[in-house]
Structures are given as structure tokens and as C-alpha cells.
Structure 1
Amino acid sequence: MNTIIYMVRHAESPYNEGTERTRGLTTKGKSDVEKVTEILKEEGIDVIISSPYNRAILSIEGLAQHLELDIETFEDLRERHFASEIIDNLMSVINEKFYDFDYSLPGGESNIECQNRSIAVIKNILKEHAGKKIAIGTHGLVMTLMINYFDSSYGLDFLNQLKKPDIYKLKFENLELKKVTRLWNGDY
């Protein structure tokens, strides 16, 4: 039985607004959300799930409204917690330490910890919603780690080429990832 998951990386979000949980979307991000809805509205989506972070929810909210579906949030789909303090060169650290899955900054979470908690949710979603189409509002690093769990070829290069927003369609047969297709076109 095939199950389809649409991973929707959140749209552009201002880094200086609010906290990780409460950040909204930029003007461009809000405009891109309309395009996300246009791309996914005819896919036959049955269920909409999201990270609890505002920018992820806002990125799929238009789709939920269009389809008249509720958005279910899961705390363990949140973005990786990088550190207890703001890190000036965070992207450099991510690039340098991506494949050291046990590495974490002080007060932060490692890739393996983030991957384990998010994959537990994905496995439950695949079991509970087998045969359905599910859209998930997510974040770049956690999305990469989730796909990487099923196919290790999705790593740092994949993460670094992601856009905000971005959409990937994942076809599963039971718990096995069979196909990944990018639906977001940078020309939007």
C-alpha cells in the first residue's frame, strides 16, 4: 500500500522577529504560501500535519483552509534545537559538522537526536494514515534528516540546495521510501 507524504519546507521567515516558535513569514513568504496552496490543492491530500512552529503552520495554512482540513501539530517535528545561545556562524557549524550525527553545541541537540524524535512521528504517521496523502509543514534541517533516515544520499548537499519554501513528494510502500519528487519550481 502506497502512502504519499508532501514535505513542505516553510516559506521565508524573518530571523529577527520573535522566537524560533513564534516567527512569522516575510512579505515574500506570505506570497509564496499562495503558490504552495496552488501546487498542492489538487493532489488529493487527506491529512495536514505540521511542526508546532508558527512559520511551518503558516506555510500550509492556506492549503488547510482550501481543503477544509485541520492542521495537527506534533512537537517532535520541530526544527533541531541548535544551542542554548545564539550562534553567529550557525550555518558554518552545520556545514562542518553535518555528518557527525552525535555532535551538538552546548545546550543543543545533535542530528541523531533530532532525527530519532522526528522519525518516530513519521513512522506513526505512515502507520496511522497508510494509503493516504499527507502534507507536513516542516523545516530544512529536520526535513533533510527525516529523508536521510530512509535514503542516506539525502545529506548536506540536499540541505544546502533547499529553497524557502520547498516541496518534496515522498512515495512510501509501507515504511520503505520508494520515490522522491521535487514539486517546487524556483521559477515561482
Structure 2
Amino acid sequence: MNTYIYMVRHGDSPKTVGTERTRGLTARGKCDAHRITDLLHGEDIDVFVSSPYKRSILTIQELAERSGQELIVFEDLKERIFSTDNKRMPDEELFPLLTQSFADPNFALRGAESNADCQIRAIKVLKGLLKTYRGQKVVLGTHGAVMTLMMGFFNSQYGLNFLLNTSKPDIYRMEFNGQELVDVKRLWNR
């Protein structure tokens, strides 16, 4: 019996309100969270896990509640730590950093995290989920970079170009046979 991981990238969040950990969702992000609930409610999800960041939790919380399930938060599913000030990095600074980070997975700004470090911590959680919830369906509330790094661990086609072409929100259903990725299907239509 295969295991399904539904990677749910968070909805649109305010660019200036709150820290990386506390930023919530914009009105559009909240509307999209309702659409995600409607889209995935019929999938009979067994388990709901999330990054500790508010925007990821809020994106899947209604779906978990409607399914009668609790949301389990894993600290190590948080977004890659790009800088030490815990604030959203402006796009004009972030895009060059992403380009350099995907070219050199060990690159990081001083005191921050590299792609390699982020991938190691997140994959440890994902492998644990695959083992603990084998044969079940798991929704994982996530972020763009960490999602790409987790997916890229199993298939190198998920790299910078993939990340730059995802949306907020986005949904990818990953099918696993044990720890082997056998299929990925995008479920979100912009």
C-alpha cells in the first residue's frame, strides 16, 4: 500500500506584517485556504502536519478541522532560514540568494542556513512521516524553498526552476512506495 504526501505550499501572506514565524495570510490567501479545503476534503486525508509558521498552519487548518483531525506541528518543517533577522527578505535580495544557493547547496549567509542544511533537517521529518504513516495520506503544510528541497531530494528535476514556477498556494501529491518516490501530480490550478 502506497503512502501519499500532499505538499501544500502556503497561501499569499503579507509582505511586511510580522516576522517569518508570525506572518499570516492576506485576504486572497484566506480565500485560497478555503479552496484548498474544498479541493482536498474528498481525498480522505489521515494526518495533517505543518511547519510552525503561521501562514502554513492557517493554509491547512480549516481542512484539518473539517476532517476532524488535529494538526501536528514540526519545527524542522519550517522554511529555510535565509537570514538571521527573522524578517521577510525582499525579493530583490532573495532571488540572487536562491540562484547562488541552488548552484552551491552549501552556500549560506553568515549565521543563516544553506540548502543542504535545510534539506537534511526537513528530509529527516519526511522520512519519519513515511515510516510512521505508511499506507496513509498526509497533508504537509509547507513553504516554497523547503518544499522544493524535500522534493528535490527524491528527484533532481525539482530545483530552482521548479521553485520559481510554483504558486502561492500550490499543491503536489507525492506517491511513495516505502521511501521511493513513484509519482508526483500537481493538484492546484492557479
Give the TM-score category using the shorter length: over 0.9
Q: 1:125-173 CA deviation, whole Å, 9 max, x = no partner?
A: 0000000000000000000000000001110110000100000000000
> Structure 1: how far apart are the matches of 2:46 and 2:11?
22
Structure 1 SS opposite 2:42: coil
Structure 1 SS opposite 2:103: coil
Q: 1:97-129 CA deviation, whole Å, 9 max, x = no partner?
A: 313100001111000000000000000000000
Give yes or no for contact 2:106–2:115 (8 Å, CA) kept in 1. yes
Unaligned runs of 5+ in 1: none
Q: Percent identity?
A: 50
> Structure 1: how far apart are the matches of 2:103 and 2:188?
26
Q: Give the match for residue 53 of structure 1.
A: 53
Structure 1 SS opposite 2:140: strand
Alignment of 1:126-137 (within 5 A): 126-137=130-141
> Structure 1: how far apart are the matches of 2:97 and 2:116?
16
> Structure 1: how far apart are the matches of 2:41 and 2:18?
30
> Structure 1: how far apart are the matches of 2:184 and 2:120?
21
Alignment of 1:7-86 (within 5 A): 7-85=7-85
> Structure 1: how far apart are the matches of 2:157 and 2:21?
30
Pick from 87, 96, 101: which aligns with 1:97? Answer: 101
> Structure 1: how far apart are the matches of 2:103 and 2:133?
31
> Structure 1: how far apart are the matches of 2:173 and 2:23?
26
Superposition TM-score, scaled by structure 2 size: 0.95
* Aligned residue-pair number: 186
Q: Give the match for residue 108 of structure 1.
A: 112
Alignment of 1:165-180 (within 5 A): 165-180=169-184
> Structure 1: how far apart are the matches of 2:26 and 2:119?
28
Matched, 1:142 2:138: no
Unaligned runs of 5+ in 2: none
> Structure 2: how far apart are the matches of 1:136 and 1:176?
18
Q: Which moved more, 1:93-102 or 1:36-45?
A: 93-102
> Structure 1: how far apart are the matches of 2:62 and 2:140?
13
Superposition TM-score, scaled by structure 1 size: 0.96
Matched to 1:57, the amino acid is: I
Shift of 1:78: 0.3
> Structure 2: how far apart are the matches of 1:64 and 1:111?
29
Structure 2 SS opposite 1:135: strand
Q: Give the match for residue 159 of structure 1.
A: 163
